Every structure is written in C-alpha cells, then in structure tokens.
Amino acid sequence: MTPCDTAFTCDFTWNGKRYTAQTGDTLALALWRNGIMALAATRKRHLPLGLSGSHVAGILVRVDGHPNVRADRVLVHSGLVAEAQNTWPSPRFDVLRLARAIPAATVYGGFEHSGLVKSGSPLFQPWERTLAFLAGVAEAPDASPARPDPPAETLEADVLVVGGGPAGVEAALDAAREGQSVVLITRGTAPAPGQFEGLAAPVTIRGGHEVFGFYRGGTLALAAPDDPRRPAILTRQNRVVLATGSSSIPPLVPGNHLPGVINARTALHLAEAGAIDDVAVVVGTGLEDKLARMLDSFGIRVAAVRPVASLSRIEGQDRVEAALFGRDRISCGLVIHAGPWIADDTLWYQLVADGELQLACHDEQAAAVPVQRVGNAALPAEPVHVPPGRIDSAHACPCMDVTVGEIRHALGEGHSDPEVIKRLTGCGMGPCQGFPCWHQMAAVIAHDTGTVVATRPSRRAPGRRITVAQAAGLLGLVKPL
C-alpha cells in the first residue's frame, strides 16, 4: 500500500471511475473534493445519503473488497478501489434506485414486518431470499484465509478518561497531578503527550480509538481502533470520567437525510481542508451566528443564518439544493446545523443501567465505580423541535430508513410505548444504536401524544465498533463471572 505522501496526490477509483485525492485525505474528503456527495442509499427506499457527521449509514462504502468501511476514517492510498453499496446489479447501473418511486407507507415496518407474501405459501421462500438480499445492503467480504486474531491490549489505571478534548485533557491533568494514574482514550487525534510529562502519576494516551462499551459496573471498558487490523483495548479502572462532548443533531424536517446536511463539526473540518465551495445555509439554537462567522473566515459563502426552529424543509434530488423557511426559499448546496446540541449518553447509560424486565437507570449507584461527566457531556440535552405541518417524510433514523410518518403510523395504531415503536419500525436499531434517532423519535411521540418520554433505549454496545477478529482477541482476558 502506497500512501499519498510521496507525490502530494494519488489516484483512486470510485464506482469504476478514477479520481485524484490529496495527501492525507480520507476517502470521504477526497470524494467531497471531487463533487461526489451521495455515497450510500437508505435501506428501504434507496434515498441518497452522504457524509453528515450524524449518521453512520451515509458513509459506509466498500473499500478494496471490505464491506461497510467508514469513508470518513479510511485514508486514500494509491490504487484504492471503492464503491457504493446497496446497489444492484452495479453502482453505475443501479436498478434498486427505482425503489425511490415506492410510496413510503408501503415499506413501513421494513424487512421483518412484511405482510406482502405470507409464510406457508409457495412464494414465501423466494420472497424471503429477496428480502434478505435487499436488507443485507452490503455484499459479504471477499473470502479470506483464516488469520490469527490480534490479542487485545490491556491497560490498567486508577482513572479512565474518555475523550481527548479540552475537558478530557483537564480531567486527565487533574487526576495525574493528584497522583492517580490515567488512561485517556479518544477518537481522532490524540492530545499532545508533552503536556502530561512530569506529573505525579503517568498518563497513557491512545488516539484513533473509540471506547464503545462499559462492563461490570464500569470496572471494565472496551475500545476499538479505527483500523480493523489493529487489536482492541481492554481497560480496567477504579474511576471513570466521560468527556465525550455533545453533537448537533439534524433538524427534523423533510430532506434532512440529503447529502449536504452536515453538522457544525463536519463543516469546520471540511472548511479547514478547503473542500467547501458551495453556498451554505446555517441553522442552530444560538451558536449559528458564531459558526457563520467562522465559516466566513474560511471564505465560505453563507446565504442565511436562522434559528433551526424556523426551518421547514430541505429540498434536493441527490443532494441539498435549497432550504425553505416557510415561504422563503433559499438556494444553497449545504445546510449546516449548530444545534440542538445533545450529549450522546450511551456510555453513561451503560455504566449506570441495570434491570430484569428492561434496562433502566435506576440511579447512578448502579455503577460500581465513581463516574463523572465533564465538559459538554455534562450539559442537559437541548429540545428537538418538531415543526408544524406535514413532516412525514423527514427521517428520524436514516440508518434504518425510518421516517416521522412511520412513527406516526405506529402511534395511529395505538402504540405509544417507545420500546414497542422501536420494535415495530427498527428506529434506533442501526449502527448508532439509538443516538441521535431515539431523541428524534421521542420528540415526535412527545409532540403528538402530549406526554413526556421518560425511558431511554438500551443503548447496546458495541454499535459496530469492534470486528469479529478484534473481539476474538479478547478471549481469555476476562474470566466469566
């Protein structure tokens, strides 16, 4: 594998055509620079999806024979071959796109609630095979020879800090100054190690890893690297600090799945890389003006800056073409959202949840170790605005292709228990395991029924972070209880 670093640029292939990437580009960034924004298609109706910063399904592509590779995490190398999934017979000539013409209501319930052909009838077996093919989305990996599983790395410390932003770094420094050893694990780039030298206790840092699961009340945690060939990490600790930040979640309006709807962090990342030349509309819950000024400093044209609650619809065929605020239609190529901000509480939930009939946060005492949330992770969730009018085609859960209309259909049939609606629609059962889609589903239920949704989903690990081989590398490291 030749990385891009020798020649400043290198060539790669997308859907059978050659393109050029710049040094250090991720595949998603390289495609974006080449004007390719639609990278994937929704499961049921094959609507276009792309890089969003919010939903994983939009960036899963096939790379060099491996399915479901995150295009935003894989670096382009010379000769890389990538293609879109969920197509047939080929990405260039994709008959499955015709599903876009199917009325949404006919595929409510998806692949496990298909009433069309009943089991027991002679047509059922072929029908079920077809369903399984459609639902599978990705072709299986190319057959590979057996290979040894990478044994996991084990790290032990007094404190595990999750997240390497300012709040995480500060928590790690505080603990180490007090003489407590620290393991800090973060997504993305690791904080510079120099600042942790000469403290009363050591700080071990791992960047490019995501902590995805807590076990046994928080005494154990698992993290997985972006690179599937590297081993997972098992940590043992006596205290946990969650500095996992918060994210802006997409507006609940029709067209919110379209490529070009991105969150503030993704927009800044693309802007810094000099990859944006579209006109942007910026919406938010208070930080939109600040974000617009930052984008402006990168030379990005911002056509409008408005509260997210005034947005009524996003239009476009294969990508964003306009944002509508009531009757006010603004042409743009991007809708960038800065709010509502919600902290993903998956890890916290795993730490404190227990139960026999339903996992629930009885109280924070369920955790066996002290747990602290710091920085933005400690802020309460901002409310999700449910606009008036017809928003049935808005996506609550793009990964499982669940719209507001589908949730309303379930409500209309008399179901109001979110756990039941989850099982009827699949909302929240995709790669994100409920974030941010549970918040959007809960907002619709609360809006329509006038009640507060008090429960949360069982935010199940590992949320497609760890591979089979990496998990096999954990064998023997933890004794069964």
The residues in 340-359 that bind another protein, with binding defined as CB under 8 A, are 353-359
Beta carbons of 37 and 266 less than 8 angstroms apart: no
Nearer to another protein, 145 or 194 (CB): 145
Amino acid, single-letter form, for residue 233: I
According to CB under 8 A, which one of 93, 146, 297, 327 is a site residue for another protein? 146
What is the rounded distance in angstroms from the CA atom of residue 206 to the CA atom of residue 221? 14
Long-range contacts of 445-454 (CB under 8 A, 24+ apart): 445/407, 445/411, 445/416, 445/418, 445/421, 447/386, 448/408, 448/411, 449/411, 449/416, 451/416, 453/418
Using CB under 8 A as the binding rule, the residues of this chain from 212 to 241 that contact another protein are 215-216, 220, 222, 228, 234
Does 431 participate in binding another protein (rule CB under 8 A)? yes
Packing angle between helix 288-297 and helix 264-272, nearest 10 degrees? Answer: 10
| Minimum CB distance to another protein, residue 2 (Å) | 21
Nearer to another protein, 234 or 294 (CB): 234
| Minimum CB distance to another protein, residue 460 (Å) | 4
According to CB under 8 A, which one of 17, 113, 177, 293 is a site residue for another protein? 113
Nearer to another protein, 53 or 213 (CB): 213
Interacting residues of 54 by C-beta distance below 8 A, sequence separation 6+: 247, 248, 249, 250, 263, 436
What is the rounded distance in angstroms from the CA atom of residue 368 to the CA atom of residue 239? 9
Applying CB under 8 A, the site for another protein has a residue count of 90
Does 480 participate in binding another protein (rule CB under 8 A)? yes
Does 365 participate in binding another protein (rule CB under 8 A)? no
First to last CA, the chain: 43
According to CB under 8 A, which one of 153, 278, 315, 419 is a site residue for another protein? 419
Nearer to another protein, 62 or 313 (CB): 62
According to CB under 8 A, which one of 89, 103, 115, 194 is a site residue for another protein? 115
What is the rounded distance in angstroms from the CA atom of residue 94 to the CA atom of residue 103? 19
According to CB under 8 A, which one of 118, 177, 293, 390 is a site residue for another protein? 118
x/- mask, another protein, residues 294-333, rule CB under 8 A, reads ----------------------------------------
Beta carbons of 63 and 94 less than 8 angstroms apart: no
Beta carbons of 32 and 247 less than 8 angstroms apart: no
According to CB under 8 A, which one of 162, 433, 436, 444 is a site residue for another protein? 433
| Minimum CB distance to another protein, residue 425 (Å) | 10
Q: Is 132 helix (H, G, I), strand (E, B) or coil?
A: helix
Beta carbons of 233 and 155 less than 8 angstroms apart: yes
Nearer to another protein, 22 or 238 (CB): 238
Nearer to another protein, 171 or 359 (CB): 359
According to CB under 8 A, which one of 97, 230, 423, 447 is a site residue for another protein? 423
Using CB under 8 A as the binding rule, the residues of this chain from 41 to 70 that contact another protein are 66-68
What is the rounded distance in angstroms from the CA atom of residue 7 to the CA atom of residue 27? 17
What is the per-residue DSSP string for 404-445?
HHHHHHHHHTT---HHHHHHHH-TT-STTTTTTHHHHHHHHH
| Minimum CB distance to another protein, residue 401 (Å) | 12
Using CB under 8 A as the binding rule, the residues of this chain from 446 to 465 that contact another protein are 449, 451-455, 458, 460-465
Nearer to another protein, 314 or 371 (CB): 371
The two three-digit tokens of residue 109, written as one number? 């319930």
DSSP state for residue 241 in the 8-state scheme:
E
The two three-digit tokens of residue 203, written as one number? 């700080």
**280-284 and 261-263 strand pairing:** unpaired
Does 445 participate in binding another protein (rule CB under 8 A)? yes
According to CB under 8 A, which one of 89, 120, 194, 380 is a site residue for another protein? 120
What is the rounded distance in angstroms from the CA atom of residue 238 to the CA atom of residue 255? 45
Nearer to another protein, 110 or 284 (CB): 110
| Minimum CB distance to another protein, residue 457 (Å) | 11
Nearer to another protein, 67 or 208 (CB): 67
Beta carbons of 91 and 83 less than 8 angstroms apart: yes
| Sole window of 129-137, 172-180, 267-275, 305-313 interacting with another protein (rule: CB under 8 A) | 129-137
What is the per-residue DSSP string for 374-385?
-GGGGSPPPPPP
According to CB under 8 A, which one of 119, 189, 297, 365 is a site residue for another protein? 119
| Minimum CB distance to another protein, residue 308 (Å) | 25
Nearer to another protein, 60 or 374 (CB): 60
Does 1 participate in binding another protein (rule CB under 8 A)? no
| Minimum CB distance to another protein, residue 410 (Å) | 11
Nearer to another protein, 17 or 118 (CB): 118
**153-162 and 182-185 strand pairing:** parallel
